[in-house]
Structure 1
Amino acid sequence: MTYPQDPNNPYGQQYGYQQPGYPQYPGYPGGYQPPVEGSGLAVGSLVCSILGLILCFVVGIAGIIMGHIAYGKAKRGVADGQGLALAGIIIGYISIALNIGLLALFIGIGAFSGWR
Structure 2
Amino acid sequence: MSYPPPPGSDGVYPPPPDPPVQAYQPPPGYGYQGYDYGNPGSPYSQPVYPYAPARPTEGLAIASLVVSCAGVLGLCAWTVGGVLGLVGAILGHVARRRIRQTGANGAGMALAGIIVGWVCTAIAVLGVAFLVAFVIMQPDTY
Measured against the shorter chain, the TM-score band is 0.5 to 0.7
Query: Which residue does 1:41 correspond to in 2?
Result: 60
Query: Which residue does 1:97 correspond to in 2?
Result: 122
CA distance in 2, matches of 1:89, 1:49: 8
**TM-score, normalising length from structure 2?**
0.51
Secondary structure of 2:83 counterpart: helix
Deviation at 1:35, TM superposition (A): 7.4
Structure 2 runs not aligned, ≥5 long? 1-51, 75-79
Matched, 1:65 2:90: yes
What is the letter of the counterpart of residue 48 of structure 1? Answer: V
Deviation at 1:34, TM superposition (A): 9.2
Query: Which residue does 1:85 correspond to in 2?
Result: 110
Deviation at 1:36, TM superposition (A): 3.8
Structure 1 runs not aligned, ≥5 long? 1-32
**CA distances 1:10-59 after superposition (whole Å, capped 9, x unpaired):** xxxxxxxxxxxxxxxxxxxxxxx997432322111011112223322111
CA distance in 1, matches of 2:73, 2:66: 11
Higher share in helix:
1
**TM-score, normalising length from structure 1?**
0.61
Of 41-50 and 53-62, the range deviating more from structure 2: 53-62
Matched, 1:50 2:75: no
Paired positions, count: 84
Deviation at 1:74, TM superposition (A): 1.8
Choose 1 or 2 for highest CA Rg.
2
> Bigger relative contact order, structure 1 or 2, given CA contacts below 8 A and separation 6+?
1
In structure 2, do the counterparts of structure 1 residues 34 and 104 end up closer, same or farther at CA, with 3 Å as the change threshold? same
Matched, 1:112 2:137: yes
Structure 1 runs of 4+ aligned residues shifted over 4 Å read none
